[in-house]
Structure 1
């Protein structure tokens, strides 16, 4: 599991996917979310604006599992 650190209280899912190098641009988040390729804390997630906090686990099919950690 890869750890991705954030400097703020939370990060939106689309921004997180870009920060974790799962997608090259934030605009691509909509496509992979609609395809059902992303789970947050083991639950399927389709909302780009979903707020992620330290301790949340994000799974992306074909990319791996990531943990949100505070910097």
Structure 2
């Protein structure tokens, strides 16, 4: 799968919201559950905090799909 790109509109986005917006989770509840199960990595490390603040330059991975987070233009 080609990596996905997400451009921030502010300083950060919470992890569960990013997964939902990018279509990697059907709902916010589903996204939170996947994070809680340890299925998500941020910059190569398992992330268990559902509301972890994801900033520009970070890489999020779930089910073999990678999201690169970019700063607003």
> Which TM-score applies when normalising by structure 1?
0.89
1:6 partnered with 2:16? no
Gaps of at least 5 residues in structure 1 are none
RMSD: 1.1
CA distance in 1, matches of 2:30, 2:47: 15
Q: Where does 1:50-61 land on structure 2 (aligned, <5 Å)?
A: 50-61=52-63
- 1:38-61 CA-partner distances (Å, limit 9, x unpaired): 000000001111000010000102
> Which TM-score applies when normalising by structure 2?
0.87
Q: Count the aligned residue pairs.
A: 70
- 1:1-33 CA-partner distances (Å, limit 9, x unpaired): 211112011000011111111012111122111
Gaps of at least 5 residues in structure 2 are none
CA distance in 1, matches of 2:32, 2:69: 20
